[in-house]
Amino acid sequence: MVFKMIHENYNVRDLDVSIAFYEKALGLREVRRKTHPEGNYIIAYLANDQADFELELTWLRDHPQPYDIGEEEFHLAFRTDDFAAAHALHQEMGCICFENREIGIYFIQDPDGYWLEIVPTR
C-alpha cells in the first residue's frame, strides 16, 4: 500500500487576501474551487507547476474571528532556487517572522498567522 500527500488545509478569514498573499509570496495560483450552494464555505486549491501538492484554503462564512493556530509549531515548507531573491521579496512584503541564519532558513507569516518555512536548494 502506497500513500501520496496531496494537500494541506488552512482555514482563512479573507480568502481573497490569502490568495493574493500566496500568489505574490510563493507563486501559487488557484487551480480549482468548491463553493457550498448556500454560501456556507468556499474552498480554494492553490498550486504551482513544481509539484502535485496543493494548499487548500477554506473560508467559513460563520467564522469571522481569527483562528487559534496555537504556538505555530506546525508549518508548510517551500524550497526555492533563488533564496536571496525570495528573501528580498518577503522582506519587502514585511512577512518574515523568524530567521535562523545559522542553518540558513527563514519563515514567513501569512495573513492569518500561519508560518511557512523557506529553504534554499542545497
Element housing 16 (H / E): helix 15-26
pLDDT at residue 103, rounded to an integer: 92
Provide the whole-model pTM: 0.88
pLDDT of res. 122: 83
- For the chain, give every domain's residue range: 7-62+74-120
pLDDT at 72: 65
pLDDT value of position 74: 76
Give the model confidence (pLDDT) of 23-46 as tens digits.
999 999 999 999 999 999 999 999
CATH of 7-62+74-120, one of 3.30.70.20, 3.10.180.10, 2.40.128.130, 3.90.230.10: 3.10.180.10
pLDDT at residue number 65: 87
State residue 32's pLDDT score: 96
Residues of the chain short of pLDDT 70, as ranges, are 1-2, 72-73
Beta-bridge mates of residue 58: 11, 43
Close Cβ partners of 112 (under 8 Å, ≥ 6 residues apart): 10, 11, 12, 13, 18, 66, 67, 69
